[in-house]
Structure 1
Amino acid sequence: MTTNQPRTLERGLPECDCPADCGGRPELRVRLAPAYPSVRPSEHQTPPDLPHSPTRRGELVFDTLNQRHGVVMDRYRSLVYLRPERGGAEWDVDAKWLVKPA
């Protein structure tokens, strides 16, 4: 038997109504939106003219899209996975946004 109604999961708490539309549950202090990238959608940026393509794990790079330094953790095709120098949540960014730190 098939129905046309979408499956729903009843969690007993209301959906988030915050302006960021994070999809979380504010009563549980749960946030579903990722912490990165921190770029606001209204900001228009262009990639740097001479991007740096990291070649080894542990290399320090500067993410021009998010305006922060990161240590290369891994790479998959054009995505580079970065982590803050002193530890923290990992984020990914397209390699075209990376430059060598000044």
Structure 2
Amino acid sequence: MSEFIRLDPPVIAEIVAICDTMLAEFESSRIRAKNLVSANGFGDLESARQLAAGYSRKGAGTPESAYERIEQFIETLTQLRDAFAAGGEDFLDTQFDWARALDTVDRDM
């Protein structure tokens, strides 16, 4: 793009700090989501095993699962943070890419 966006250094630092805080929360969520594949305590009936398997699939292992969605958010937010950390110069080039990625994740949910 031929357009250029310039952000003041304190604004960039604040945006990057916000992104880092969000990324830390997503990392914590990713760790918890990884444990969602262990759906225990439903019992020994066939219907209980099927229910546990369904919850496990929602936790991790499929493109629509919680773990994979969190991974997608982390990747997109990291790209956004890096674009801002570069002083905003890369933001216009990447803004539509990350916005499209977030929109795709949101629509798939």
Q: Same fold (TM over 0.5)?
A: no
Structure number with the higher strand fraction is 1
TM-score by length of structure 2 reads 0.22
Higher relative contact order (CA 8 A, sep 6+): 2
TM-score by length of structure 1 reads 0.23
